[in-house]
């Protein structure tokens, strides 16, 4: 098994390359497809790990303030050991979620994002949790000019019988965006989340810095770099993605 046994669905959170969610929704009758690719590397004394994480996220606007979200991630992980390489690939657990912006007044807005990880990944290979994983996230956005800020707090229930995993996963993150022009934004965030494995560092922390470029009102492309702050976060990752709106 290459991936850690403490796998649960990676929530399709904020606009890539950020991990922090925002309160924005698509609007009634509108759809967004987001395709992302994260390439991360981790090295210790005996192993070099290269992980490609591809995620497809479909957001459908049911009303002006309510989205339905479906996310399907795919993993390809290679462990380069002293004498050989071992590669594991396959789809991870799907996520079904909704985002409801329940308050929107001036520059300030709040939203809730309940979700459910569906055990579609192969648990025996470490590609899935092997059980459903419900979650709930609360989000605040303050949209100023040229700065925008997002705060994101959440909880995931890791329903696991073994003593080697934590059953309660907490998340906290903060993101900022700075408009460099009408089409270009500098973005960054810092996040901390409970580590699922009890033998790992209690919290998984990382920081992200990136750019989002709006080619047209219906197409965004992004590029970013993520630095791991604690184990088991990857040492570093390059992030690319695009978002298409219909």
CATH number of the domain within which 59 lies: 2.40.128.130
Judged by average pLDDT, the poorest of 27-31, 47-51, 239-243 is 47-51
- pLDDT at residue 197, rounded to an integer: 73
Phi, psi of 170 (to 5 degrees): -110, 145
Q: Give a yes or no: residue 215 inside a domain.
A: yes
Q: Which two tokens stand for residue 186?
A: 């500098």
Q: Give a yes or no: residue 20 inside a domain.
A: no
Q: Give a yes or no: residue 4 inside a domain.
A: no
Instruction: Judge whether residue 242 has pLDDT over 80.
Output: yes
Q: Give a yes or no: residue 12 inside a domain.
A: no
CA–CA distances in Å: residue 196 to residues 42, 113, 140, 177: 18, 21, 25, 30
Q: Of the segments 4-13, 115-124, 132-141, which one has the largest average pLDDT value?
A: 132-141
- pLDDT at residue 5, rounded to an integer: 37
Give the span between the Cα atoms of 157 and 161, in whole angstroms.
Answer: 12
Per-residue pLDDT reduced to its tens digit, 175-210: 999 999 999 999 999 999 998 777 677 888 999 999
Judged by average pLDDT, the poorest of 26-35, 47-56, 119-128, 196-205 is 196-205
Q: Give a yes or no: residue 16 inside a domain.
A: no
- pLDDT at residue 84, rounded to an integer: 66
Q: Give a yes or no: residue 205 inside a domain.
A: yes
Average pLDDT, the chain: 89
The average pLDDT across 155-169 equals 80
Q: Give a yes or no: residue 47 inside a domain.
A: yes
pLDDT top residue among 211 and 127: 211
The average pLDDT across 95-111 equals 97
Instruction: Judge whether residue 9 has pLDDT over 60.
Output: no
- pLDDT at residue 4, rounded to an integer: 42
Q: How many helices (H) and strands (E) does the chain have?
A: 0, 13
- pLDDT at residue 12, rounded to an integer: 52
- pLDDT at residue 163, rounded to an integer: 65
Q: Give residue 29's region: left, alpha or beta (phi > 0; psi -120 to 50).
A: left
Instruction: Judge whether residue 6 has pLDDT over 50.
Output: no
Domain that holds residue 217: 31-245
What is the total count of domains within the chain? 1
Percent of the chain having pLDDT more than 90?
Answer: 68
pLDDT top residue among 47 and 77: 77
Q: Where are the beta strands (DSSP E) in 20-167?
A: 31-43, 48-63, 66-80, 85-91, 94-105, 108-118, 133-143, 147-157
Instruction: Judge whether residue 239 has pLDDT over 50.
Output: yes
The average pLDDT across 216-220 equals 96
Q: Give a yes or no: residue 22 inside a domain.
A: no
pTM for the whole structure = 0.89
């Amino acid at each position: 098994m290459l991936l850690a046994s403490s796998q649960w669905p990676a929530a399709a959170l904020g606009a890539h390359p950020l991990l922090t969610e925002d309160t924005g929704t698509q609007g009634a009758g509108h759809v967004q497809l987001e395709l992302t690719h994260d390439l991360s590397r981790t090295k210790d004394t005996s192993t070099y790990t290269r992980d490609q994480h591809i995620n497809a996220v479909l957001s459908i606007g049911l009303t002006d303030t309510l989205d339905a979200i479906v996310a399907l991630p795919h993993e390809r992980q290679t462990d380069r050991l002293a004498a050989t390489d071992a590669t594991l690939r396959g789809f991870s657990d799907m996520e079904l979620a909704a985002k409801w912006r329940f308050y929107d007044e001036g520059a300030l807005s709040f939203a809730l994002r309940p979700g459910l990880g569906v055990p579609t990944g192969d648990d025996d290979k470490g590609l899935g949790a092997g059980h459903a994983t419900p979650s709930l996230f609360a989000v605040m956005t303050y949209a100023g000019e040229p700065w925008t800020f997002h705060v994101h707090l959440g909880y995931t229930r890791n329903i696991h019988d073994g003593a080697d995993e934590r059953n309660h996963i907490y998340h906290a993150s903060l993101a900022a965006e700075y408009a460099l022009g009408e089409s270009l934004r500098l973005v960054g965030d810092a996040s901390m989340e409970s580590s699922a494995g009890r033998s790992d560092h209690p919290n998984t922390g990382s920081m992200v810095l990136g750019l989002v470029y709006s080619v047209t009102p219906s197409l965004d492309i992004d590029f970013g770099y993520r630095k791991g702050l604690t184990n088991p976060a990857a040492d570093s990752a390059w992030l690319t993605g695009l978002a298409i709106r219909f």
